[in-house]
Amino acid sequence: MMVIGGQWGDEGKGKVVDLLSSAFPAVVRYNGGHNAGHTVRVGERKFALHLVPSGIIHPDSRCYMGAGLVIDPTALLKEIDRLKGEGIEVEGRLCLSPRAAIILPTHRALDLAREDRRGDGKIGTTGRGIGPAYQDIAQRRCLRTWMLADPAKLRDAARALMVQHNAELVALFGVEEVDLDAALDEVMAAAKRLAPLVREVGPEIRRHADRGDPILFEGAQGVLLDLNWGTYPFVTSSSCLPGFAAASCGVGPRYLGPVLGVMKAYATRVGSGPFPTEDFGPDGDGLRDRGVEYGTTTGRPRRCGWFDVVAARHAVQTAGIDALALTKIDVLDGLKTLKVCVAYEGPGGEVIETVPADADLLAEVTPRYVDIPGWGGATEGLINEEALPEGARAYLKFLEDQVGIPIALVSTGPRREETMARGSSPMAEKIAKILSDA
């Protein structure tokens, strides 16, 4: 099975993956870097994960990190140490592909310098070196994680690449060079501890499959941030689509299984870029406050707005999503009226029913809303569809009909147990069994 984001990230994938992981001996992360932020709540405990797959919280799950990731060794090591401090055992359960790219301190400096140069046209990068690292992959000059086990080669290659980066920092951006000795010491210290985690991921995944073990692939970010199919150029630096998992992990598409797309019951976005249903008034502020909409990775306040059917259908069709997991419906409790965007109106008054490739055009569209009555009761913490207020059930049915695929899971709060399976689709039946066995 695959779990991917169906919006601009921050949809609640971490909770969904954690919830499902109890039924999956193998959990695989395949894209992005530590720009991702997946939050998992277990009882009163809260775990913020950025690189390590969310399945690590389950002691029986083995976790894998594919070749399509970019890895900051220091950030990964800090995350592992933080998990160990919370009583989560990582060694022996985490496998890192030798083919993933390494993020160096100079990548971070380049990321910040480029973003600063953009001025008012900032993308909204996290400044963690993700984009420059992916750029080095395309330029065929990146360092790979197999080097973590070869200190001499790693040191020489890292120094040579960082010398190039420093020259770019000075010549292109007019900023100070990164201290090479300090940067090398940082990389080498982390490499020594991470080297034992490095081994080929593909053969491990195939062995799981040969034993009949179900495998869960965990996506980062979301379809609307995909490098090719998102709101380019306001996107991330890697593919967020299911097909990239096969390429990242060195396995065929037949290993991937059905796709569960995670979406919020409203919409949020971090950073710059078009957001047709953004609400700049008190409703948007209310969604942010009630939903605690602040980035797990950056702490930045998220832009908030209404559910966008046009964007949701784009994600479903582009990524081949089979069913939806709808999160944070409880945030809508108490609202008298909900808005749902069912089409866009272009600058010339034309009706637009698909997400245009031109981000400038998308920024100019006017959303065509349908008003949906709110509900008086509370959904928070409910675990049975029949217990939902009638208005909440009607809202789910409306979204399901508009998007065109079943809503198989509904999250009514941040904790594991605040979740329900919904409907009778194959995905819903699978989720219901996992919930009953948990």
Which of the residues are catalytic?
10, 38
| Whether residues 209 and 297 fall in one domain | yes
Full 3-state SS string of 364-383: HCEEEEEEEECCCCCCCCCC
| Whether residues 347 and 398 fall in one domain | yes
Give the pLDDT score at 296.
Answer: 66
Which residue type, as a one-letter code, is found at position 133? A
pLDDT along the chain (438 residues), means of 10: 96 91 94 81 77 90 96 96 93 96 98 86 79 96 98 98 98 96 97 96 94 95 97 95 95 94 98 96 96 81 97 99 98 97 97 97 98 96 96 98 98 94 96 91
- Residue 369 phi/psi, 5-degree rounding, is -100, 150
The upper half-sphere exposure of residue 84, i.e. CA atoms within 13 Å in the direction of its Cβ, equals 11
* Distance, CA of 438 to chain centre: 24
The model's pTM is 0.94
Report the CATH number that the domain containing residue 351 is assigned in CATH. Answer: 3.90.170.10
Q: Which of 139, 171, 197 delimits the end of a domain?
A: 197
Q: Helix (H, G, I), strand (E, B), or coil: what is residue 75?
A: helix
Asked whether residue 395 is assigned to any structural domain, the reply reads yes
Which residue type, as a one-letter code, is found at position 361? L
| Whether residues 15 and 127 fall in one domain | no
| Whether residues 395 and 247 fall in one domain | yes
Q: Helix (H, G, I), strand (E, B), or coil: what is residue 12?
A: coil
Give the pLDDT score at 1.
Answer: 96
Q: Which of 148, 167, 197 delimits the end of a domain?
A: 197
Asked whether residue 89 is assigned to any structural domain, the reply reads no
Token digits of residue 417 = 């147990």
Asked whether residue 176 is assigned to any structural domain, the reply reads yes
Q: Helix (H, G, I), strand (E, B), or coil: what is residue 343?
A: strand
Question: Which residue range(s) make up the domain with 417?
Answer: 2-82+201-437
Full 3-state SS string of 50-65: CCCCHHHHCCCCEEEE
Give the pLDDT score at 111.
Answer: 94
| Whether residues 180 and 277 fall in one domain | no
Asked whether residue 48 is assigned to any structural domain, the reply reads yes
Asked whether residue 94 is assigned to any structural domain, the reply reads no
**β 303-305/267-269 pair status:** antiparallel
Asked whether residue 92 is assigned to any structural domain, the reply reads no
Give the pLDDT score at 163.
Answer: 98
